[in-house]
Structure 1
Amino acid sequence: MQNPLLFIILLIVKCNAEFQFKCWAESCTKPNSLMQNVKVNFYPNPPVEGQKITGELDGTIMEKVTSGRVFVKAFFKNFPPLKETYDFCYLLSYLDKMQCPLPAGDVHFNYSTFLKTSSILPGNYSGTATITNQMNDEVVCLKGGCEITG
């Protein structure tokens, strides 16, 4: 085995089914962003291991979005931050079965997944996601995190 420490950590995590979650999510959208009246939520809160967790985003898009990017920065304990950039239209079609262009007006996004603690390490998780449009203008910014103990 190449990394016995990793194996031990994963074994401990897999055997410990008594995780507790304290999670939060909110908008960090600037006042002049292209999405207004932003509401972000997930349920159930706190999440329950082995059950589905759903995240929702509601708001009003002021201008049509034909393309864009999603900038994600995630933090876990003292590890270097994970920084990734994704194509907005690809994620939109994959996550919510919607397509670009996204017309101006009220929008509702949701995404659900099952929570499996066998792949989660206890600790503090946090991050931000910023969506920009084809002109690199901010559409919306979201931030959130979870404290996972077990």
Structure 2
Amino acid sequence: MERIQARLNFTLLPVLAVSVLLLLLPSLQATHVKYCDKDADYAVKVKDVVISPNPVVRGKPATFKILGSTGESISGGKLLIDVKYFGVHIHQETHDFCEETSCPVSGNFELSHSQSLPAFTPPGSYTLTMIMSDKNGDELTCISFDFKIRIGSSVSDS
């Protein structure tokens, strides 16, 4: 009887591990970042984009973190953010680079922007394009990535 129970426990272990992984998968999904011009040699390389919560919950705060690196010293500039909903342009805003990170930057750095989306924001698929330029207006990088907005509260809100 003990052998059967031990074999049953050993058999259930991989099933439990896969179940836990599937529950955590939405929070572990990486955001796929695309450069606007895949052949360009941008001065700023984007390593990752972290969206929290992911998917974004309308009416709740959301944070977008851009992890990048550069070989230059950047002491100012602008971030142009363009948002599309199912491919249709719906919003554009500009931010001062040094308000989103501590300037000057060189090497590895993080841009972070938090915003609460209105409760009436439609759920669905969005694409965000970000163009980063220096204080002279020269383009440092251009990326785009997709994200989703959903209705309802996040599990982590409780």
TM-score (norm 2): 0.56
Partner of 1:133: 134
Asked whether 1:146 is paired with 2:144, we answer no
Alignment of 1:97-136 (within 5 A): 98-99=102-103, 102-114=104-116, 116=118, 118-136=119-137
- Specify every segment of 5 or more residues in structure 1 that has no aligned partner in the other structure, as ranges: 1-22
- Aligned to 1:86, which of 94, 109, 114? 94
Tell me the CA shift for residue 126 of structure 1: 1.7
Number of equivalences: 121
Q: Which amino acid aligns with 1:137?
A: D
Tell me the CA shift for residue 35 of structure 1: 1.4
Alignment of 1:19-98 (within 5 A): 24-28=31-35, 32-36=41-45, 38-48=47-57, 51-77=60-86, 79=88, 81-82=89-90, 84=92, 86=94, 88-89=96-97, 92-93=98-99, 95-96=100-101, 98=102
**Structure 1 residues 74 and 46: alpha-carbon distance in aligned structure 2, compared to 1, 3 A threshold:** closer
Query: Which one has the bigger helix percentage?
Result: 2
Fraction of identical pairs, as percent: 18
Give CA-to-partner distance per residue, 1:16-51, whole Å, 9 cap, x none.
xxxxxxx95524165511113522121232234565
**Structure 1 residues 25 and 105: alpha-carbon distance in aligned structure 2, compared to 1, 3 A threshold:** same
SS at match of 2:54: coil
Larger radius of gyration: 2
SS at match of 1:39: strand
